[in-house]
């Protein structure tokens, strides 16, 4: 469960604890679970800025193994918009170490673009 610490137009931050059921390699989070979390966190950044849209692309860079059974921090913010596209970036951190970087493009419905 993501516990939101901040959610506004400047971005979002959440804490999450991944238990043993989310393990991939021994003691580490499964990469697919981290992708799922980043999709949710980046989407929340869009919603916090009072916009709607759907995931167009989601690209992840796994910088280091992400441990299970300890608190993680997830952050995201909109970095720019291009017409109907919103470019959103985010991270998973263990303490100060970035373990996952994410970039996504969210597509806004034509009726809601540029609002």
pLDDT for the residue numbered 114:
60
pLDDT for the residue numbered 115:
53
pLDDT for the residue numbered 112:
76
Count of positions (residues) in the chain: 115
Q: What domain count does the chain have? A: 1
Which CATH number does the domain housing residue 84 bear?
3.10.129.10
State how beta strands 85-94 and 3-8 pair. Answer: unpaired
pLDDT tens for the chain, residues 1 to 115:
899 999 999 999 999 999 999 999 999 999 999 999 999 999 999 999 999 999 999 999 999 999 999 999 999 999 999 999 999 999 999 999 999 999 999 999 998 766 5
pLDDT for the residue numbered 111:
86
CA dihedral 52, 46, 28, 5 (to 10 degrees): -120
The overall pTM is greater than 0.75: yes
Residue 73: give the domain boundaries: 3-112
């Amino acid at each position: 469960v993501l516990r939101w610490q901040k959610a506004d137009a400047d971005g979002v931050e959440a804490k999450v604890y991944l238990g043993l059921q989310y393990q991939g390699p021994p003691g580490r989070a499964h990469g697919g679970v981290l992708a799922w979390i980043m999709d949710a966190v980046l989407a929340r950044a869009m919603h916090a800025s009072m916009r709607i849209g759907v995931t167009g692309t989601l690209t992840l860079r796994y910088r280091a193994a992400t441990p299970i059974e300890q608190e993680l921090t997830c952050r995201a913010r909109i970095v720019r918009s291009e017409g109907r596209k919103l470019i959103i970036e985010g991270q998973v951190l263990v303490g100060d170490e970035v373990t996952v970087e994410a970039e996504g493009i969210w597509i806004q419905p034509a009726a809601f673009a540029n609002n």
